[in-house]
Structure 1
Amino acid sequence: MRLLQVSFRYRRRQPFILEEADAQLAPGDAIELTGVNGAGKSTLLRLLAGLARPTRGHVTDRPGVVGFAPDRFPTAQPFTVTSYLTHMASVRGGARWRPWAERLNMGHLLGLPLGELSKGSAHKVGLVQALMADPGLLILDEPFAGLDADARETLPAIVTEVTGRGGIVVASDHQGGLRGLPGLRSWSIVDGRLKEAAPAAPVPPAPQRPLTTVSVTLPADELPLFLARMRDQGYRISDLDHTHPDPPEESG
């Protein structure tokens, strides 16, 4: 997938929100997109997803199945959670949504009208509809916003599964929820320009310090406290923690 000199503005004579963005996306990529509020992150995500057309330039080789989870899921719809997801599964050719709802612990939400959902619960619905058809391109706009702790822990693993089967994931995320993923690419939008940070250099392993073994003689009743202090300070204690009586004095 490729961005070819993509620029975008909403109306003629208005300033460009995004100018000459050029980037290559490969199967298996996970990309974190950052920038200040109003920088154009959501606009870029919509361009990538095909929900908006560039004013100039082109987006080429977009995967055939795109999943898009917006920052704010539109709850003003006359559906319950189950009826909405069932409808979207039908639109997507019989996609399976229930396994994703189980992964995100949504059982208690299924009978609720969309309009009664909290922001975090509505966001889970948006994630499920984006994931249900096994997208080749998954677009996530602030995916961690409002999620409960369990869902926040589950989402990086889901992203890893999508990229592991060759999908591309692009997430606008100011919370850094994906930063532990290996190989994560980092994009930012600054003054309308798309920039990519160089991959972080691997941290070299700490040099091995030479070790030596010492023996210590102390009263038996002080041994437990001494061992506890040494372990707290990171010293390795062998299993030979035995007391030895002093040898008897020779007579004669």
Structure 2
Amino acid sequence: MWLEDVGLRYNRRGPWVLRQVKVGVAPGEAVVVLGRNGAGKSTLLQLAAGVLRPSRGRVLDRPSVVGWVPERFPADQPFTVDGYLAAMARIVGLSPITADRAVRRWVDRLGIGPFRTVRLSQLSKGTAQKVGLAQALLRPPGLLVLDEPWEGLDAAARELVPQVVDEVLADGGSVLVSDHRGETVRLPGAREWLVADGAVVERAPSDAAAVAVVELEVPVGQLPATVARLRAEGHHVLRVRGQNAPPEATRPGAGPSSEVAR
């Protein structure tokens, strides 16, 4: 997908939010979109996903299947989780049997089974965000666009996002993702686009020397709370070691013997 001289303003006399954007992402590539709040990151992602049409320029070679996850899922809808996902599966062209299989797969992976009969408007922000992620993946996307996908998610779901990205890339898809939590440290090798002053420029990935690794020692009884707090603050927990660590905490990324501090 390629953005060719793309510009956007929200009304004819309004300021340009983006102008003369010339960037592209190839199949199998992931791009992290960076920039301060209000710089135009979400606007860029919506242009890439086809949610917005450019005021100038054009978007070329956008895949036919695009998975779009906005920063805040629009939960004010009169559907249950099951009803919404089934309807979205029909919209993306899945047969009834394939749709049912896809819905069950993502409901199970994202842990939203207990909420299948709950109306969207009654969901917490984190659960609603999982529903938004599920709908974007019902049909394998050629382009997956994630706007702050970690926002509001629990620890297990946050760990799943990089797995999903890897799966899309392995299938030959492309991924665009924005993030202000520092979670994209989990996406090594991703390119970086910086949005500032209406322009989008590619920059070299952050130097590894700018990242510090800190080892922590905590009592086993405080392990779950420590892991949760570190991740909530945006740190990347790398591994656990120690004979007294619970078995489920010794998996890579599951415990707090070390974490990346930024």
| Deviation digits for residues 116-144 of structure 1 (CA, Å, limit 9, x no counterpart) | 00111100000000011101001111100
- SS across alignment from 2:162: helix
**Are positions 1:83 and 2:83 aligned together?**
yes
More strand as a share of residues: 2
TM-score (norm 1): 0.77
- 2:64 aligns to what? 64
Amino acid at match of 2:145: I
C-alpha distance in structure 2 between counterparts of 1:42 and 1:112, whole Å: 29
Equivalent of residue 148 in structure 1, options 128, 142, 154: 154
Contact 1:156 1:177 in 2 (8 A): no
Tell me which of 97, 101, 109 is aligned to 1:103: 109
Report the 3-state secondary structure (helix = DSSP H, G, I; strand = E; otherwise coil) of the residue aligned with 2:189.
coil
DSSP 3-state at the match of 1:6: strand
Counterpart AA for 2:111: N
Looking at structure 1, the residues matched to 84 and 208 of structure 2 have their Cα atoms a distance apart, in angstroms, of: 45
Deviations 1:46-98 (A, max 9, x none): 11011111111111000010110111111111111011111111222224222
CA-based RMSD of the aligned residues comes to: 1.4
- CA shift for structure 1 position 178: 2.4
SS at match of 1:179: helix
Q: How big is the shift at 1:105?
A: 1.0
Given that 1:7 and 1:16 are in contact with CA atoms closer than 8 Å, whether structure 2 keeps it comes out as yes
Aligned to 1:46: 46
- 2:103 and 2:192 mapped to 1: Cα distance? 30
Cα distance in structure 2, aligned partners of 1:72 and 1:103: 20
The CA distance in 2 between the partners of 1:97 and 1:31, in whole Å, is 27
Per the TM alignment, residue 200 of structure 1 is displaced from its structure 2 partner at its CA by 5.0
Deviations 1:151-191 (A, max 9, x none): 00111011111011110110111112222323211111111
Structure 1 residue aligned with 2:194: 188
2:168 to 140, 150, 162: 162
Report the 3-state secondary structure (helix = DSSP H, G, I; strand = E; otherwise coil) of the residue aligned with 1:59: strand
**Which amino acid in 1 is paired with 2:120?**
L
- Aligned counterpart, 1:214: none
Cα distance in 2, alignment partners of residues 69 and 201 from structure 1: 29
Report SS of the residue matched to 2:75.
coil
Structure 1 ranges of 4+ moved more than 4 A: 200-203
One-letter amino acid of the structure 1 residue matched with residue 45 of structure 2: L
2:183 matched residue in structure 1: 177
The separation in 2 between residues aligned to 1:113 and 1:43, in whole angstroms, is 29
Structure 2 stretches lacking a partner, 5+ long: 210-262
Deviations 1:200-240 (A, max 9, x none): 5677xxxxxxxxxxxxxxxxxxxxxxxxxxxxxxxxxxxxx
- Give, in whole Å, the separation in 1 of the partners of 2:67 and 2:142: 8
1:134 corresponds to 2:119: no
AA partner of residue 171 (structure 2): R
SS at match of 2:183: coil
Percent identical among aligned pairs is 52
Structure 1 gap segments, 5+ residues each: 204-252
Q: Would you say how many aligned residue pairs link Structure 1 and Structure 2?
A: 203
Q: 1:199 Cα deviation (Å)?
A: 3.7
Q: Supply the distance in 1 between the matched residues of 2:208 and 2:40 (Cα, whole angstroms).
A: 31
1:15 deviates by 1.3
Q: Which one has the largest radius of gyration?
A: 1
Which structure is higher in helix share?
2
